[in-house]
Amino acid sequence: MEEQNPASQSHRSTEQLQDNAELEHQYGCEHYRRRCKIRAPCCNQIFSCRHCHNEATSSLSNPKDRHEIVRHDIKQVICSVCNTEQEVAQVCNKCGVKMGEYFCDICKFYDDDTRKQQFHCDSCGICRLGGRENFFHCEKCGSCYAIDMRDNHSCVENSMKNYCPVCYEYLFDSVKQAMVMKCGHTMHMDCFKEMSKQQQYRCPICSKTVMDTSEYWKMLDEEYSAIIGEVSFDRLRLFKCPSNTSMRSPSSAMTATALAKSPFTLLGTSANSAPRIIPEGLQEPVAKMKCLSISKRYRQRTCDANLV
């Protein structure tokens, strides 16, 4: 028997792998690589996946015809290799090809790219990405979160079952990456980045600060010190306020409140109605001008109830 050349055998194996890779990428769509299509039960049309269906129907001219598919209602699929329509299953009942390396019989979901580490969450009722061991399901928030957020986030009831406050896309089953802010509300990561580029640092829902603004307050404190000059910071009080007045600290900005202490300046609930106290050593006109200037710069430090 003729001895096989290991080099040629290796070459044939490489060619076979390349052919298989090309075969895999012949099928599917821009959303998923799979060897089947679905028949939508809502309109009886054939699409590569549910996203293709939703994109096509959302652009229909008649608003009454626009709709989204319910993934769990899919009953029929069409094998892309032999074009055989059949009931939902992982393996084609005619040609025997596996229509998806990952298959979920509940979601009727197929995908060849297992690097995504797909898994089905029974509590969510849908498939997620990233590996089951890396996520936990928060019952109050109603969604799967990264494992390092367990007991380390503010729970808001059904926070993920809402629309992104920026782009208004439904977050729960969105394919875009979402994030949980310090206040517990959620939004798309891309939308959050765009919001921060516009210097918007507050949650669009509750107006609480969602990022560290200590550097910003430090800059304002430096400006304040430059305006006051040699006047003692501890002796300066711009407005008299009630003893029970509370205000935000510079480090936590709009998220927390603390009892008024001497390092803070604007303590009055209303800059217009609070009685002014002229610091010792300043003349009345000069003090008024400086107080007004500082009042504008520190307006966000007043005890405004609608921002708490």
Residues 112 and 125 placed together within one structural domain of the fold = no
Domain boundary among 116, 141, 166: 116
Specify the range with the lowest mean pLDDT, choosing from 32-36, 83-87, 185-189: 185-189
Give pLDDT, residue 154.
86
- Residue 270 in this model has a pLDDT that exceeds 50: no
Domain boundary among 197, 223, 239: 197
Instruction: Count up the domains in the chain and report the number.
Output: 3
Give pLDDT, residue 214.
74
Residue 235 lies in a domain: yes
SS3 300: helix
* DSSP structure class, residue 247: E
Residue 298 lies in a domain: yes
Residue 155 lies in a domain: yes
Domain boundary among 55, 84, 116: 116
The token duo for 187 is 């939004």
Residues 36 and 110 placed together within one structural domain of the fold = yes
CB 301 within 8 A of CB 260: no
Which position has the higher pLDDT, 263 or 60?
Answer: 60
Among candidate residues 251, 214, 238, the one with its CA nearest the CA of residue 302 = 238
Give pLDDT, residue 263.
40
Residues 59 and 100 placed together within one structural domain of the fold = yes
Residues 100 and 141 placed together within one structural domain of the fold = no
Report, in this order, helix, strand and coil percent for the chain, each rounded to 5. 30, 15, 55
The token duo for 269 is 């609930």
At 27, the pLDDT band (50, 70, 90 cuts) reads confident
Residues 29 and 111 placed together within one structural domain of the fold = yes
Residue 110 lies in a domain: yes
Residue 1 lies in a domain: no
User: Identity (one letter) of the amino acid at 136?
Assistant: F
Give 141's contacts (C-beta < 8 A, 6+ positions apart). Answer: 153, 155, 156, 157, 158, 159, 160, 180, 184
Residues 112 and 22 placed together within one structural domain of the fold = yes
Give 242's contacts (C-beta < 8 A, 6+ positions apart). Answer: 269
Residue 249 lies in a domain: yes
Give pLDDT, residue 2.
39
Residue 7 lies in a domain: no
Residues 46 and 126 placed together within one structural domain of the fold = no
Give pLDDT, residue 243.
52
Residues 238 and 295 placed together within one structural domain of the fold = yes
Residue in the structure block whose two tokens are 């008299």: 240
Strand pairing of 178-180 and 143-146?
unpaired
Residues 112 and 166 placed together within one structural domain of the fold = no
Between CA 204 and CA 185 the distance in angstroms is: 9
Residue 3 lies in a domain: no
Give pLDDT, residue 94.
93
Residues 90 and 161 placed together within one structural domain of the fold = no
- Residue 8 in this model has a pLDDT that exceeds 90: no
61 lies in which domain range?
Answer: 18-116
The arithmetic mean of pLDDT across residues 218-235, rounded, is 66
Residues 91 and 112 placed together within one structural domain of the fold = yes
Rg (CA), the chain: 30
